[in-house]
Chain A
Amino acid sequence: MSNELQLASKTQVKLGVQEKLNLLTKRIWKYRISYLFLSPFLIAFTLFILIPVLAAFGLSFTYYNSIQPPTFAGWDNFEYLLSQDVLFLKYALPNTLTFALIVGPGGYVLSFIIAWLIAQIPDRWRIWFVLAFYAPSLAGGVVMNIIWQPLLSGDRIGYLNSFLLRMGWIEEPQLWVIDPDYLMIAMIGVTMWTSMGVGFLALLAGILNVDKQLYEAARIDGVKSRLQEIWYITIPYMKPQMLFAAVMAIVNAFKAGQIGETLSGMKPTPEYAGHTIHNHISDFGLIRYEMGYAAALSVVLLLMIYFFNRLSWRLFGNKGDE
């Protein structure tokens, strides 16, 4: 009798799993068209992003010099990174955090303000203003160097120095991009200048997309100032674009790395004043050929970006979205 009971319960459990599987297959089958829509992207995504990312995760637990096959190293890379890598702990980590925590939110707010202002001017002129503010992103990094180098140049001829000297605000020319005390400030300033990128374009499109009738309705409901309009209508309505721009701002701020080296013209930057995690990764991956360690650094950077990303999603109160 007890045997029978056991058997019965066993079959029930089996049935439970079986049923669940059946239900899942049914649901998947129900959404077969969704998967069809997704399939071209999924194939490319798997091949060129998912597999390489997983491979890099795997490599982060190895010693790999990109010539000999990788050898398993367990947690060694991470242990070294957190306890012995002085350059990382003393320069790369704090520099990246300072840089990203200013440039990320700063660039984001700036993009929104500029996008909103551009949305307020007549349609006819708008395109030229969009072009002007997007120009630094459109022209790319090479040109940026040409504009900023003479401006921040350390001698008397540098535009900024000669201006400040003439105004009597400084006594002698400052080495804006070579002095470790100023390099970070210069990096932040220049990056803010290029921060009107894809997030800016998305925000502008989002602002222009808001249904005009909403503003009229709000006016009747007692919304008086422009600021109230932004707070109660524009921002809530364009939440998807706000979120996109926020994620892009965070990701780009943490992944920035070239800027310090381009500005100071030195590699590594003077006294590591502008040394970011990204520089550290290129350093190990492309110069020292320690791909395993570079991969471990990338994983740590990914975890950091992920953490700050979650924080911003929480700020936007969009938990259901992820």
Chain B
Amino acid sequence: MMAAIAENTSKAGARRRLIKLDKTQMMLMLFLTLVGIFMILPLFYIFNHALKPYSELFLYPPRIFVQQPTLTNFSEFFSLLKDSTIPASRYLFNSIVVAGLGTVSVVIVSALAAYPLSKHPFPGSKLLFSAIVISLMFVPEALQIPRYIVVAQLGIMDTYVGHILPHVAAPVSVFLVKQFMDQVPNDLIEAAKIDGAREFTVFMRIVIPVVMPSIATSSILTFQDIWNDTSTSTLFMQNDAMKTFPYYLSTLTNNLANSVARQGAVAAASLILFLPTLIIFLTFQRKVIATMAHSGIK
């Protein structure tokens, strides 16, 4: 962006301007790197912790960086997997299905709902939007029992639908995508309609490409939420074979008398659990930055 501005200034000042801006950019990057290192510590910690031998896992005060990296934690974790009554691959499979299908459905359903909320003055639109924003304000504890009753009444206990459907009601996602759709000029939509495009075509061809950054952001958020969620497993799944990977990990240490055993396996498992969120974040955030660099709303 800076380069673009610099190019557009008069030729005489162009060279000096470019150099000057690069200098501020350098200073800025130095500053952001210093603060950023402190912010990114948790990520270093997750990776290093998984490689620590037992002698380092319980050091006090704890160290972030590992001194003598080892893979024993992983072998401990995998040997634990062999012992479990239900194969751990089943939990992993459940998690992938639930998080994958869940994220896709949340994103599609939210985008579909955001479009009329942003662009159609249908009767009740303001009321509905207020209801969505207000629903963000309610703390989840008070909703647990009514939600449990709804899920039980629907007969979706112990099914994948029971994992996914409660997440599909995603007010944050709808709100986010709707706000980005507000920036799409109405003229653009009207022009397409005059050319004979139907609502769905307008939605797919014009609105969605412009709000892609918000869809990518909402995917990151939703995946992170569903992937780490243990509440649907705890509340709605009675059959152990239907529970998810993070739930299984939380059981690894729960029933033990001391807090030392299996900590190595837990450290390794935390890294394994974290990797997919990291990959999803990098993939989709890259998309946000890339689409911005090329287009933008005209």
A contact set with B: CB distance below 8 Å: 24, 27-28, 31, 33-35, 37-38, 40-42, 44-45, 47-53, 55-56, 59, 66, 114, 117-123, 125-136, 138-140, 142-144, 146-147, 149-150, 153, 157-159, 193, 196, 198, 201-202, 204-205, 208-212, 215-216, 219, 238, 240-241, 243-244, 247-248, 251, 254-255, 278, 281-282, 285-286, 291, 294-295, 297-298, 301-302, 305-306, 309, 322
Interface class of chain B by DSSP: helix
Bound complex: CA A80 to CA B145 (Å) = 23
Q: Which of B81-139 touch A at CB < 8 Å?
A: 108-110, 112-113, 115-117, 120, 122-123, 125-126, 128-139
Q: Is B12 an interface residue (CB 8 A)?
A: no
Q: Which residues on A sit within 8 Å (CB–CB) of B61?
A: 150, 153, 157-159
Q: Is B180 an interface residue (CB 8 A)?
A: yes
Bound complex: CA A38 to CA B296 (Å) = 27
Nearest first, the 3 A-B pairs at minimum CB distance are A41-B113, A132-B36, A34-B116
Bound complex: CA A77 to CA B102 (Å) = 38
Other-chain contact of B217, A66, A202, A240 (Cβ < 8 Å): A202
Nearest Cβ on chain B to A176's Cβ, whole angstroms: 14
Q: Which of B42-88 touch A at CB < 8 Å?
A: 42-43, 45-46, 49, 60-62, 64
Other-chain contact of B171, A45, A122, A158 (Cβ < 8 Å): A45
Interface class of chain A by DSSP: helix
Other-chain contact of B39, A47, A136, A208 (Cβ < 8 Å): A136
Bound complex: CA A302 to CA B135 (Å) = 9
Closest B residue to A193 by CB, please name it. B39
A-B contact count (CB 8 A): 275
**Beyond A298-B139, A309-B137, is A240–B180 a contact (Cβ under 8 Å)?**
yes
B contact set with A: CB distance below 8 Å: 1-2, 4-5, 8-9, 25, 28-29, 31-33, 35-37, 39-43, 45-46, 49, 60-62, 64, 108-110, 112-113, 115-117, 120, 122-123, 125-126, 128-139, 141-147, 149-150, 154, 165-166, 168-169, 171-172, 174-176, 179-180, 182-183, 199, 203, 213-214, 217, 220-221, 224, 228, 270, 274, 277-278, 281-282, 285-286, 288-289, 292-293, 296-298
Other-chain contact of A35, B36, B49, B122 (Cβ < 8 Å): B122
Q: Which residues on B sit within 8 Å (CB–CB) of A248?
A: 136, 172
